[in-house]
A and B are shown apart, each in its own frame.
Chain A
Amino acid sequence: QSALTQAASVSGSPGQSITISCTGTSRDVGGYNFVSWYQQHPGKAPKLLIFEVNSRPSGVSTRFSGSKSGNTASLTISGLQAEDEADYYCCSYTSSSTQVFGGGTKLTVL
């Protein structure tokens, strides 16, 4: 199974909003509402930001939101802060009863 497609990098200024997209197929993103998003700072373990397309775990800022349309899922970060600079990964359940990550997007806060 191929990795989901994410842009390699995205940038934004403090206070702005940015959106990271994650494109798959009808056998993964498009076929199930089981898309999650993870944030990873350098040298650290990933952290769950969004599960089941648009749900936030307890303790995750409301500045993070998720959505899905067809085979593409999106993560939006509003009110960008310096601490949001990190790598972001989407992950989807697949028709093979496994999961697959996206290639990751590096967010730079200008």
Chain B
Amino acid sequence: EVQLVQSGAEVKKAGESLKISCKGSGYSFTNYWIGWVRQMPGKGLEWMGIIYPDDSDMRYSPSFQGQVTISADKSTSTAYLQWSSLKASDTAMYYCARHRAIFGVVMDSFDMWGQGTMVTVSS
């Protein structure tokens, strides 16, 4: 079965670091762009950035550039989203999602989504 499985919910304090994960299975992980989307409580979707695991080519939204780090480990078919110093405003649901087409282009759409990871940061 083709799926993305994300790590579990996290409760952290402001200033702490965090790395959440998204493991792909059932498909060629290295050859599909995979990205992250934020959804703050009661709010809309925000495109954060994407990575192509085969060569680690990546794009960040200007809103998230420098605030988070996206990475991928080809050996474990896992993508990561990382913070070095969390803020209360990072409290949100974070989804990973895979682009639609193999060997696709950066402008493609997300056709498969993880179940989401809820991150709660207290001040």
- Asked, given contacts A1-B63, A32-B107, whether A98 binds B47 with beta carbons under 8 Å apart, the answer is yes
Contacts beyond the supplied A34-B109, A91-B45, A101-B45: 4 A-B pairs with Cβ under 8 Å = A1-B61, A45-B115, A51-B111, A104-B45
A100 to chain B, nearest CB (A): 6
**Residues of chain B lying within 8 A (CB to CB) of residue A3:** 44, 46
**Residues of chain B lying within 8 A (CB to CB) of residue A34:** 107-109
A89 to B45, CA, bound (A): 8
Residues of B that sit less than 8 Å from A by CB: 37, 44-47, 49, 59-63, 95, 97, 100, 106-111, 113-116
Interface residues on chain A, number (Cβ under 8 Å): 27
A3 to B49, CA, bound (A): 15
**A76 at the B interface (CB under 8 A):** no
A46 to B114, CA, bound (A): 9
**Residues of chain B lying within 8 A (CB to CB) of residue A103:** 44
A25 to chain B, nearest CB (A): 15
CB closest chain-B residue, reference A47: B113
CB <8 Å contact, A46 and B45: yes
CB <8 Å contact, B114 and A45: yes
List CB contacts (< 8 Å) of A32-90 with chain B: 32, 34, 36, 38, 40, 45-48, 51-52, 57, 87, 89
A99 to B46, CA, bound (A): 9
CB <8 Å contact, B44 and A89: yes
- Asked, given contacts A48-B110, A97-B59, A98-B61, whether A91 binds B47 with beta carbons under 8 Å apart, the answer is yes
CB closest chain-B residue, reference A104: B44
A51 to B112, CA, bound (A): 13
B64 to chain A, nearest CB (A): 9
CB <8 Å contact, A100 and B47: yes
**Residues of chain A lying within 8 A (CB to CB) of residue B107:** 32, 34, 93, 99
- Specify which of A57, A97, A101 is in contact with B44 (CB 8 Å cutoff): A101
- Specify which of A45, A91, A98 is in contact with B113 (CB 8 Å cutoff): A45
